[in-house]
């Protein structure tokens, strides 16, 4: 898949917040709490992130989703053809080929979440064009930026015909980088949202928020930050689109997971959807980050159980597990400068790199069948 390799800034956040070695791994134990879910009221699915670099791996991903989900996610977050949109010129072949390939794999019997990124990999500025540059602007809400991005979204909606749309990804990260850009971003999105509502009045719109940087944010004034993000979500979005990786904050136990969920529920008054989430199934060690996180398949299982129980009790719209299978084969193809960052999510699949099912996959199917 032609997709941005990963989110570098999030990897760096581990250095200050996730080196926790004082929590012993969970034991394998029978947990009947899932009996509370007698009839599932939320959709379950995966992103189309592939486990390997070949077309056969990509096809296998869609086949797995077809059999083990009722919703799935396409993320368009590699590049934006800014110049083509601004100049009304021919779109880059690299862009159109990828979109057409994804559309050709569309699972028509599944709901589709389309997530589109406006921001770059560290969520500090606009996403780059295919030549590596970003457009010149005085303010993020400049008319040329607005018109080009609306064209981008309009094109993608017409191609995919999604059931849910995320019009920008992990946007609270921008506020962490620049208060002025955050103000400009809000003005831009107000206009984009209004235009989309006219063109697609029945399409639910959102902008994804990272729960791990909304709950206990590492900022000078956390109360103000939380209030700003909560107000933005409740006042402007059709549903709260949540991106959550609990191990980014060193969360490893059911009680720690639940603290984040309880925070979310206390802050949100609109429907909730987890647009991307996952948890480690193996120990993670990256010496260049001075990073060591213990985990195992039972800790992953407990996170999925906790997530599912909250999804049921709080009537979430859906949950999207990031990758169905560990992507060791794909990781082997990463350039050397991305190898360490790529490890962060590598071992989070419900299946390991050999396709062996983990305990969490049994939990997934148990809930999916309800």
Residue range 252-267, pLDDT digits in tens: 999 999 999 999 999 9
Cα 78–Cα 84–Cα 87 angle in degrees, nearest 5:
150
* Nearest-angstrom CA–CA distance, 270 and 233: 8
| Phi, psi for 279 (deg, rounded to 5) | -150, 150
pLDDT at 349: 96
Q: What is the dihedral of CA 109, 70, 96, 173, to 10 degrees?
A: 160
Q: What is the pLDDT of residue 175?
A: 97
Q: How many Å apart are CA 299 and CA 230, to the nearest integer?
A: 29
- In terms of pTM, does the model score above 0.95? no
For residues 322 and 47, is the Cβ–Cβ distance under 8 A? Answer: yes
Q: How far is CA 31 from CA 35, 277, 281, in A?
A: 9, 22, 18
Asked if 134 and 81 count as a contact pair (C-beta separation under 8 A), the reply is: no
Looking at residue 11, its pLDDT comes to 39
Confidence (pLDDT) at 7: 40
pLDDT of residue 25: 39
pLDDT of residue 173: 96
In the prediction, which pLDDT does 249 show?
Answer: 87
Residues of the chain falling short of pLDDT 70: 1-32
Per-residue confidence (pLDDT) for residue 16, from 0 to 100 = 35
217 with 225: CB under 8 angstroms?
A: yes
Residue identified by tokens 């082997």 is 332
Listed residue (322, 327, 333) closest to 69, CA to CA:
322
pLDDT in tens, 333-361: 999 988 998 888 999 999 999 999 999 99
DSSP string, 214-281: TSS--SS-HHHHHHHHHHHHHHH-SSEEEEE-GGGGT--SHHHHHHHHHHHHHH--S-EEEEEE---S
Q: Name the H helices within the chain.
A: 8-17, 55-68, 82-87, 93-104, 143-160, 172-177, 179-199, 222-236, 254-267, 297-313, 328-331, 336-346, 359-368
């Amino acid at each position: 898949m032609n997709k941005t390799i990963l989110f570098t800034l999030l990897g760096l956040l581990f250095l200050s917040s996730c080196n926790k070695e004082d929590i012993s791994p969970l034991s394998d134990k029978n947990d009947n709490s899932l009996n509370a879910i007698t009839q599932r009221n939320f959709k379950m699915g995966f992103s189309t992130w592939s486990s390997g670099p070949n077309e056969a791996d990509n096809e296998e991903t869609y086949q797995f989703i077809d059999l083990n989900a009722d919703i799935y996610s396409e993320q368009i977050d590699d590049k934006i053809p800014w110049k083509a949109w601004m100049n009304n010129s021919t779109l880059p072949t690299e862009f159109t080929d990828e979109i057409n390939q994804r559309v050709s794999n569309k699972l028509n019997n599944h709901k589709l979440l389309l997530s589109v990124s406006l921001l770059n990999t560290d969520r500090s500025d606009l996403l780059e064009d295919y030549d590596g540059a970003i457009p010149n602007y005085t303010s993020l809400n400049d008319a040329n930026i607005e018109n080009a991005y609306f064209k981008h979204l309009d094109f993608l909606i017409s191609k995919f015909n999604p059931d849910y749309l995320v019009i920008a990804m992990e946007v609270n990260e921008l506020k962490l980088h620049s208060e002025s850009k955050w103000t400009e971003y809000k003005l831009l999105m107000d206009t984009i949202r209004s235009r989309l509502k006219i063109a697609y009045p029945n399409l639910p719109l959102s902008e994804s928020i990272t729960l791990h940087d909304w709950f206990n944010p590492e900022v000078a004034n956390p109360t103000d930050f939380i209030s700003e993000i909560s107000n933005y979500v409740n006042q402007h979005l059709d549903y709260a689109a949540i991106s959550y990786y609990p191990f980014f904050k060193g969360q490893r136990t059911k009680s720690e997971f639940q603290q984040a969920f309880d925070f979310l529920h206390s802050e949100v008054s609109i429907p909730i959807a987890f647009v991307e989430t996952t948890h480690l199934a193996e120990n993670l060690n990256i010496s260049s980050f001075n990073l060591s996180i213990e985990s195992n398949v039972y800790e992953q299982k407990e996170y999925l159980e906790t997530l599912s129980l909250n999804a049921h009790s709080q009537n979430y719209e859906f949950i999207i597990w990031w990758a169905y299978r560990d992507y060791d084969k794909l990781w082997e193809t990463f350039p050397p400068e991305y190898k360490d960052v790529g490890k962060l999510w590598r071992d989070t699949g419900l299946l390991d790199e050999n396709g062996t099912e983990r305990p969490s996959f049994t939990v997934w199917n148990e809930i999916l069948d309800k």
